[in-house]
């Protein structure tokens, strides 16, 4: 674990910080670990959206992008068992009208959290499934509203929260997440930082845990120094997903 200076935690609980991007393949690979962590008693999970594909890094879907990402997605599936749907491989990845833009889904995550405690993590999980399994355009506002409705959010309330948190609020969240990523010494997304009740914090190398959610949960429930891996880090870079 790498030391991190983080004094914003309460004395009652440990906190697992999840620095992510909704369009990061390795974040999808780590989704079962996030779900498992949420069920650990006495552990709080907080998300930090890093805006990997925003601004100049937004990308239109293209045949070249499809050829680039498919072998990486296959690797993630083989390593973790995470499903990738035909609607993604043969639908979304061939949809040249689709735009890879992390900002709208990040706003949707913030809106969901504003409406319901834990709603942000629920939204992250659902958007990953919508993207990688169902092949939906999760940068489109109408898709985001539909996904929110599927999660049980009132549509009008979600649309209002989404409008309020769009733009500057989302930009500020992304900037703060980037600063936290830098302080943590993370190389990209996902990065996990565990802060203990005494304020001691450290970055966790999740490489050894991918595809091992049961063991990961047990480790978090009885914290000790997680094993380190000599393999290259399983992350997407701060400004684009490459493996």
Per-residue pLDDT, 241? 56
Per-residue pLDDT, 136? 98
Cα separation, 189 vs 183, in Å, equals: 14
Residue ranges of the domains in the chain? 2-221
Q: Is 199 left (phi over 0), alpha (psi -120 to 50) or beta?
A: left
Buried b / exposed e along 37-49 (16+ C-beta atoms within 10 A): bbebeebbbbbbb
**Model-level pTM greater than 0.85?**
yes
How many helices (H) and strands (E) the chain has is answered by 10, 7
Rounded to an integer, the average pLDDT of 83-97 is 97
**Per-residue pLDDT at 201 exceeds 70:** yes
Tokens 């405690």 identify what position? 117
Cα separation, 204 vs 210, in Å, equals: 12
Superfamily (CATH) of domain 2-221:
Glutaredoxin (3.40.30.10)
| Mean predicted lDDT score pLDDT of the chain | 90
Handedness of CA 52, 54, 55, 58 (dihedral sign): positive
For residue 7, what pLDDT band results from cuts at 50, 70 and 90? very low
For residue 6, what pLDDT band results from cuts at 50, 70 and 90? very low
Would you mind telling me the total number of residues written for the chain in this entry? 243
Cα separation, 194 vs 204, in Å, equals: 7
């Amino acid at each position: 674990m790498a030391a991190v200076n983080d004094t914003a935690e309460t004395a009652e609980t440990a906190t697992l910080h999840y620095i992510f991007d909704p369009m990061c393949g390795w974040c999808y690979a780590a989704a079962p670990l996030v779900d498992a962590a949420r069920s650990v008693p006495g552990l709080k999970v907080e998300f930090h959206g890093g805006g990997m594909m925003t601004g100049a890094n937004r990308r239109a879907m293209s045949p070249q992008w499809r050829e680039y990402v498919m072998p990486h997605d296959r690797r993630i599936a083989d390593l973790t068992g995470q499903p990738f749907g035909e609607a993604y491989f043969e639908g979304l990845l061939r949809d040249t009208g689709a735009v890879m833009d992390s900002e709208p889904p990040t706003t949707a995550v913030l809106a969901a959290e504003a409406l319901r405690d834990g709603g942000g993590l629920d939204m992250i999980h659902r958007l990953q499934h919508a993207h990688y399994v169902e092949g939906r355009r999760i940068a489109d506002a109408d898709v985001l509203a539909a996904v929110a409705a599927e999660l049980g959010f009132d549509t009008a309330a979600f649309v209002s929260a989404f409008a309020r948190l769009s733009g500057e609020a989302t930009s500020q969240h992304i900037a703060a997440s980037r600063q936290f990523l830098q302080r943590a010494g993370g190389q990209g997304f996902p990065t996990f930082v565990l802060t203990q009740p005494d304020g001691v914090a450290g970055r966790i190398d999740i490489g050894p845990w991918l595809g091992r959610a049961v063991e990961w949960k047990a480790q978090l429930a009885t914290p000790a120094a997680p094993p380190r891996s000599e393999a290259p880090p399983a992350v997407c870079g701060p400004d684009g997903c490459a493996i």
